[in-house]
Amino acid sequence: MRRRVLVPLILLATLALLMASTGETPTDVRHLLELVEKLRPLHTRLAPPRPGDWLDVHDEPGQTFREYLDSKPVTAHGKRKVIYIQPLGEFTKSQQAIVDGTAEFLRAYFQLPVMVKESWPESKVPAHARRRHPHWGDEQILTTYVLHKLLRPNLPDDAAAYLALTATDLWPGEGWNFVFGQASIRDHIGVWSIYRKGGPDGGEEAFRPCLLRTIKTASHEVGHMFSMHHCTAYQCNMCGSNSVEESDRRPLLLCPECLAKLLYTTGAEPLERFRQLVSFCKQHGLTVELHLYEQSMEAITGR
């Protein structure tokens, strides 16, 4: 008799604890698992790595949607749900359009508010945190200074991610030539440069690849900030990349397992998200990506 009363009480207490820990009822996991199965046939399994590829050099186990749920991921259900972009230094008109396009893409991709902060002059970075590359002569900014001296003290209370974007090259310190970007995931901060993404100042044919590379990196890195690990199962935006060439081979699309993680963490509605991504790709002439997003919508609606 005592047992029968105790068990429901324990269940109720556990349920109350779970609800208190997330603050909101999480998106229906069963619905997401059904969605994964609808989308799975559209996606290509990852082939064995080529020499020098990320998975050739790094031994990573990957992460299924179920493993993600078990990891108690960082979600956007609490107060940290805004993505901030912090422009740093001078931008040409086309480079500024890359910053604006990246903000617009992140808004559609995560279905979260994205704010572009007022630009910081490059003079915020003192001489001891800059250099000219000793052989190539490229001007470079020290990533650790931007992360720990500029971003961390200014992290907004509601920031899920606070990302500095610069057109100047970056290096992370002694022994390195350069770095594309660097993040401190635990601190919700990151810094990326478009310096090595291909110059966008040569008309549409130059602008488009630069935009595609920048939005791929930005969405991949914000994904990490929501506890998404590298994907080892599919061709996916969450695959690790060791070079621009490898990153160019990876799609902008998330595989179904990683998409389920994003929808869980943001609570986004999948069809509305795909609609907005289709509209972004149309506007920016990203035809390959547009086609894949349209196919995803068809797979979900059955039309």
Q: Which residues are catalytic, by number?
A: 221
End-to-end C-alpha distance for the chain, whole angstroms: 54
CB of 230 to Zn ion, least distance (A): 6
CA distance 88 to 192: 10
277 makes contact with Zn ion (CB under 5 A):
no
Nearer to Zn ion, 151 or 262 (CB): 262
State the amino acid at position 91 in one-letter form: F
d(CA 302, CA 296): 10
Our finding on whether 255 is near Zn ion (CB under 5 A) is yes
Give the CA count within 13 Å in the CB-facing half-sphere of 23.
10
- Angle, nearest 10°, between helix axes 93-110 and 256-266? 80
Q: Shortest approach of Zn ion to residue 250 CB, angstroms?
A: 10
Question: Residue 169 or 246: which CB sits closer to Zn ion?
Answer: 246
Dihedral sign for Cα 230, 192, 268, 281, please.
negative
Min dist. Cβ of residue 283 to Zn ion (A): 25
Question: Which residues in 215-234 contact Zn ion (CB under 5 A)?
Answer: 231, 234
**Residue 236 in contact with Zn ion, rule: CB under 5 A:** yes
Enumerate residues 4-63 that contact Zn ion by CB under 5 A.
none
Q: Least CB distance from residue 39 to Zn ion, whole Å?
A: 11
- Quick one: which segment of 55-63, 125-133, 184-192, 252-260 binds Zn ion (CB under 5 A)? 252-260
Contact stretch for Zn ion (CB under 5 A) within 1-9, 106-114, 128-136, 257-265: 257-265
Q: Which one-letter DSSP state was computed for residue 170? A: E
Of positions 165, 167, 258, 281, contacts Zn ion by CB under 5 A: 258
Angstrom CA distances, 120 to 88, 150, 238, 246, stand at 5, 10, 30, 32
- Residue among 209, 198, 121 at smallest CA distance from 164: 121
Q: Is 238 in the site for Zn ion (CB under 5 A)?
A: yes
Tokens 């997330």 correspond to 22
Residue numbers at the binding site for Zn ion (CB under 5 A):
231, 234, 236, 238, 255, 258
